[in-house]
Amino acid sequence: MQRWIVLGLVAVLLLGAGGAAGLWTYKQNRPDRKWVRLPINPKLPPDQKEEAASQLKEKLLDDKIMTKVADDIHLAEGMKLGSTQEAVALLKQRLFVEVGSVTLPSGETPCLNIGVSGKRKEMDSLGKAPTRILDDVFKILGIKKPADASAPKSF
């Protein structure tokens, strides 16, 4: 009788461990997106917002920009890819620029969401791309990069 109890406990433990491993694998492979928001003029008509998003995406998909981004965030090493060109191709495939909205203290404001999509487990290395791409967006648009708000101010 005791052997059956021990055998039953072993079976339950194996099923529990297998279920936990399966759940963890499932969660790590779920789709995930990381993006940064760039507020835009709320008076623009919706078609101009979409046009601005598509034009910005075209400019960001330039090989020079994507290669620099992939090198700066060490995407090839982080994703275990063979070369920087593979990392650039992956980044181009995963990049998105879309019109969204952000809630600011002054109210709801339209914005451009600039980011990457992928799996949750890839976001450790791929998730650094949106903040790095935002630097290039500022250069493309001719906007001065804002000072870091979290930095302490001198008195």
Both tokens of residue 63? 């090989």
CA–centroid distance for 7 within its chain: 46
> Model pTM?
0.77
Residue carrying structure tokens 């039953």: 8
Q: How confident is the model over 91-130, as pLDDT tens digits?
A: 999 999 999 988 878 888 899 999 999 898 888 888 889 9
* pLDDT the model gives residue 69: 92
Q: What is the rounded distance in angstroms from the CA atom of residue 153 to the CA atom of residue 155? A: 7
Q: What is the rounded distance in angstroms from the CA atom of residue 62 to the CA atom of residue 92? A: 9
User: Domain spans of the chain?
Assistant: 26-141
Residue 148's pLDDT band, with cuts at 50, 70 and 90, is low
